[in-house]
Structure 1
Amino acid sequence: MLLEFFFLVGLYSTLCYLHENLTSLFQIISSLLYEFFVKKRNLQEKYGEWAIVTGSSDGIGKEYAKELAKHGMNIVLISRTESKLIEVAKDIESMYSVKTKYVAVDFGNGKKIYEKVKEELKSMDIGILVNNVANMYDFPDEFDKKSEEMILKMLNVNIGAATMMSRMIIPQMKANKRGMIVNLSSTVQDQPIPLANVYASTKAYIKFFTIGIQKELKKFNVEVQLLTPSFVKTKANCFTRFYMHDAFFITPIESYVKSAVFTLGRSDESTGYWAHALQFALLKWIPRNIRMIFMHKIAKFYRRKHYENFESDKIK
């Protein structure tokens, strides 16, 4: 009887693990296959005319804006550097038959920028909001050695932007009874990372914020997706050359974003790419404390490399 009990407990635990950690992988595969057998979706018809992408002058945000334009969405680009936004807008309009608009603001400046954004978006039919913008550490280091300015900017960008942009757009989506919000977190959302803990903590906030508003907005037919990429080749990872090379778990940005957009409307939570889903599932087999020790060692390695390079540059 006791053995049967432990067998049932083990079976239940295994099924819970498989459901929680492999669902993303199966949904990604089904989304990719779905495109081959079903007529291509009209995102404008389903969600609305315009898509907003924050942090869209580089990296995932820039590529996500292009991919949505490929699907027929008009694009609002929001980021800090106007010259880069102009260039991205021109690229999109030259490649696809869509309209673009850009808003140059620095989310690190907090509350004062949102009135400008709201004014620029007035009377626009916003169907999709992609909260992508985020700041990463320039290099890992102890919490108290990072400046107050850097920490406050990271909180304003990584937490404030997704929260306040969602707050701005949700009333319109609720009134229209349609819409999609995509919040980009990271696979680091499930573990503290000593020497980069503010960044990891902001991603944990995005996870719980997203899951919470999913439930709130479901009855209004407004969808909210939590997207949790692992390592993608972007400038955010430029503090180490290792993450700028192709590898099984380090994905070219074009491949990642194309797969992630396939999952729109088909998965509330997704890593966005099959290799990332597999990595996520494998990592969850490892106890959190062991994962944290491993990540701490990696962070210490890159901190040491940074200071070695810094000293080397001083000697030169």
Structure 2
Amino acid sequence: MAAVDSFSLLYREISRSCSFYFETLALIGALYTASKVVILLRDCCTLVRVHFLPRMIPSKKLRQRYGDWAVIYGATEPVAKAYAEELARHGISIIFVTQDHTSVRDTAASLSQSYGVETVVVLADFLLDQAASKPIKEAMRGKDIGFLVNCVDESLASPQSLIEMPEQGMLDLVNRNVAVATLMTRLVLPGMVERSRGAVVNISSGACCRPLPGRVTLTASTGYLDHFSRALHLEYGGKGIFIQSLIPFQIASSRQQPSSSSSSSSSSEGWFSPKPEVYAHHAISTLGVSNRTTGYWPHTLQYGLMRCIPEWMWVLRSRVFISSS
């Protein structure tokens, strides 16, 4: 009986001495939960502000806000073509800069016929270094350039080990997606700074968010475009120029598959893999609203889920997939 009384007394004493620690832990848990709720509410508000309000509330026309002409680099990609069509739908004339005019000529003619805008196709061989900028400067001379759209090369999304890539092919890919995109921005920015208005849109991929097996060049190139956009915004955002980094995930009839390890070269249409036209229609509504976005609200949900996964867990999953394939 005495032992029981002693145990009860001991338990009361321990409980009394530990109550402070229990209350402290409970307070920490409550603060942590409250912080997560605040972050969730903030993300929900951002989702509505970026993807829904701009489509419900009419804003100033793009031509009046930024300019009459757009320069599109990488128009051989479905996403860039769809984005160019959306700009043409708003009455903006297009200058296509390409190394293969055969794939862009029909698009340019179609936009002129459908929307009554002017289109110019500039053939630029960027292997000639600075000489490639001369025809681009000639095409832009005397025009109110309000937009520059750089689009990453989708062939980067094809799974391939770095050591399996031909050296010249690797150099060409890096040149097109890093050097040329930077050069195009350098050519267009002076006029925008002079007029104190304009928009630079760099379309990369959600692959910049996490490392992916077999896609070293894709993650590196998209990562460069994403950070390049953020640095440009820091430098020129206060001069009336809007810089936007678009990081889409999977898009139908496109080879971009940053959230998948599949080796197929195309994807079927769905809610999370929209057609390029659908994606471009959503993405252009975020212009002037968000400097870094997926451009499509279901992709934003995917991005939010991806952020919840620790990188070590993501890397472990990728290694397991590689070892099992």
Q: Same fold (TM over 0.5)?
A: yes
SS in 2 for 1:265: coil
Instruction: Using CA pairs under 8 Å that are at least 6 residues apart, name the structure with larger relative contact order, 1 or 2.
Output: 1
Q: Which residue of 2 aligns with 1:314?
A: none
- Return the alpha-carbon distance in structure 2 between the equivalents of residues 209 and 45 of structure 1: 26
Structure 1: where are the runs of 5+ without partners? 305-316
Shift of 1:10: 4.9
**Aligned partner (choices 282, 285, 293) of residue 308 of structure 2:** 285
Please say if 1:261 is aligned against 2:261. no
Kindly tell me the number of residue pairs found equivalent between the two proteins.
298
Q: Which residue of 2 aligns with 1:313?
A: none
Please say if 1:156 is aligned against 2:175. yes
SS in 2 for 1:129: strand
Please say if 1:247 is aligned against 2:270. yes
Letter in 2 for 1:245: S
Compute the RMSD of aligned alpha carbons.
Answer: 2.7
Q: Quick check: 1:76–1:103 contact (8 Å CA) kept in 2?
A: yes
Letter in 2 for 1:8: L
- Return the alpha-carbon distance in structure 2 between the equivalents of residues 21 and 166 of structure 1: 33
Q: Quick check: 2:66–2:197 contact (8 Å CA) kept in 1?
A: yes
Q: Quick check: 1:110–1:160 contact (8 Å CA) kept in 2?
A: no
Question: TM-score by structure 2 length?
Answer: 0.82
**Aligned partner (choices 227, 230, 234) of residue 208 of structure 1:** 227
Q: Quick check: 2:126–2:180 contact (8 Å CA) kept in 1?
A: yes
Shift of 1:6: 4.5
Q: From the superposition, tell whether residues 162 and 24 of structure 1 become closer, same or farther in structure 2 (CA, over 3 Å).
A: farther
Q: Which residue of 1 aligns with 2:293?
A: 270
**Aligned partner (choices 96, 112, 125) of residue 93 of structure 1:** 112
Q: Quick check: 1:89–1:102 contact (8 Å CA) kept in 2?
A: yes
SS in 1 for 2:176: helix
- Return the alpha-carbon distance in structure 1 between the equivalents of residues 88 and 277 of structure 2: 14
- Cα offsets for 1:59-78 (capped at 9, x unmatched): 01111111100001011112
- Return the alpha-carbon distance in structure 2 between the equivalents of residues 231 and 134 of structure 1: 14
Please say if 1:217 is aligned against 2:236. yes
* Higher deviation after alignment, 51-60 or 178-187: 51-60
**Aligned partner (choices 122, 134, 138) of residue 103 of structure 1:** 122
Q: Which residue of 2 aligns with 1:82?
A: 101
* Higher deviation after alignment, 76-85 or 272-281: 76-85
Letter in 2 for 1:7: A
Please say if 1:42 is aligned against 2:61. yes
Letter in 2 for 1:279: Q
Please say which structure displays the higher CA radius of gyration: 2
